[in-house]
């Protein structure tokens, strides 16, 4: 999600907040004569506390903020963390079919992954890029993954890559849907339905 906001804008906001916080803290500490002995120590303590706060917010605190201010889901990007039921519709030279799978989405303010498990294979995330559609504002995931078939000794050699564009449909019980294609010349459609967060 970090890349949904301009990095320069984010740096500017962080520096501005740090500046206001440092000025307020130093002013308060000066009144209590705490920082008179060693002002450098005071500044280092404040900087360390601020870094710890930013680290906590980037990894899990943002979810609390998103719950308290639901408008952020539509302004920035929704919280997609949780377990999802996934239906994979596929077609290729061998025919067509449908596979049921389980997906786990792990999202923080700085990272995103989608892990999928089915009876026949597991998949791992190579790249997930969250974006907003410039016209409609709909959340979109550009998802590149590697599928590792379960089974025999040569399953590692038969792994393959795929790519998908998944759109978020809030009105549809918070579902994700989109088309995909793979390096095995198969293509199809993913449909994900959230189970729990």
pLDDT in tens, 77-102: 899 999 999 999 999 888 999 999 99
**Average of per-residue pLDDT across 123-143:** 91
Question: Taking a C-beta distance cutoff of 8 angstroms, is the pair 159, 148 a contact?
Answer: yes
**Bigger pLDDT: 125 or 29?**
125
How far is residue 61's CA from residue 54's CA, in Å, rounded to a whole number?
Answer: 9
pLDDT greater than 90 at residue 64: no
> 125 is written with which tokens?
């995330």
Q: Which of 60-64, 86-90, 158-162 has the lowest mean pLDDT?
A: 60-64
**Domain 82-196 of CATH type 2.60.40:** no
Domain boundaries, the chain: 2-75, 82-196
Cα-to-chain-centroid distance, residue 50? 23
How far is residue 105's CA from residue 175's CA, in Å, rounded to a whole number?
Answer: 13
């Amino acid at each position: 999600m970090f890349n949904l906001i301009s990095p320069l804008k984010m740096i500017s906001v962080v520096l501005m907040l740090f500046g206001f916080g440092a000025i307020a803290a130093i002013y308060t500490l000066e009144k209590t004569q705490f920082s008179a002995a060693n002002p450098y120590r005071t500044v280092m303590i404040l900087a360390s506390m601020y870094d710890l706060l930013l680290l906590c917010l980037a990894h899990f605190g943002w979810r609390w903020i998103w719950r308290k201010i639901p408008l952020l889901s539509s302004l920035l990007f929704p919280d997609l963390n949780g377990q999802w039921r996934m239906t994979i519709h596929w077609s290729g030279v061998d025919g067509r079919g449908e596979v049921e799978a389980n997906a786990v989405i792990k999202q923080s303010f700085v990272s995103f992954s989608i892990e999928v498990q089915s009876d026949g294979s597991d998949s791992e995330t190579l790249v997930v890029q969250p974006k907003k559609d410039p016209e409609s504002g709909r959340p979109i995931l550009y998802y590149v993954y590697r599928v590792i078939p379960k089974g025999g000794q040569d399953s590692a050699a038969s792994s393959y890559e795929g790519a998908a564009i998944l759109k978020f449909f809030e009105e549809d019980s918070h579902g994700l849907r989109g088309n995909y294609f793979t390096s095995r010349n198969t293509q199809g459609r993913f449909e994900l339905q959230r189970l729990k967060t």
